[in-house]
Amino acid sequence: MFSRRTFMISTAALFSAPIAAPVMAAPVTRRSMWNTWDAQVTPANFNPYKTNPWDLHARFLPQKVEVNDGLSPGDIHVDAVARYLYHIGNDGTAMRYGVAIARGDLYTPGIYTIRRKAKWPVWTPTASMIKREPHKYKQHAGGMNGGPSNPLGSRALYLYRGNRDTYLRIHGTPTPRSIGLRASSGCVRMVMAHINHLYENVDLGVRAHFYSPDPKVTARS
């Protein structure tokens, strides 16, 4: 949870405390494996509010929270300070998930539109990623098939500005212990079981608001 001061600085007090839980041709993802992979990344008897085999801090587990008036239902808000993603409902509440954000200056605040969704997507590193870390990314320049070890994980939401793909994503990650950290090359990461839960409820055309990180303010548990 935030202190009141931290909460107001990071997201302008938009959200309240939790409510009690109730361009190359890319390889083709093997759709016949999707159900098998979903089972692999979803713990048995999965309860999004309680299941935690990843040893996340409890505050990063999904929770339902109240929201202030004026937020558009369906939109997503990313608090870069607290490492939370909020998905706004139509009943004055939102689902809140823990996330990891981009390291250093690779995180880009702004308002984006979700124009594409994909299950078990193909991942292709950007030219800037290859240039920055060729030893790590050059081998995947032609794309990496979907699967549990793919950096985009089980689901991806693709962020656009107008009709331009920004190459930023909200996606699953095969490294769930990065949640809460600044770890990615620009995207917002989620536990795969959590983004699977989110994905089904996100409509194309909604907005994703990425708030600016403030290195002088930190979230409290």
Active site residues: 171, 187
Other Cβ atoms within 10 Å of 160 Cβ, number: 16
**CA distances, 124 to each of 62, 159, 181, 192 (Å):** 29, 15, 23, 19
Q: How far apart are CA 71 and CA 90, in angstroms?
A: 9
Match 């990065």 to its residue by tokens.
Answer: 178
Give yes or no for a contact between 64 and 22, defined as CB atoms under 8 angstroms apart.
Answer: yes
Q: What is the DSSP letter of 104?
A: G
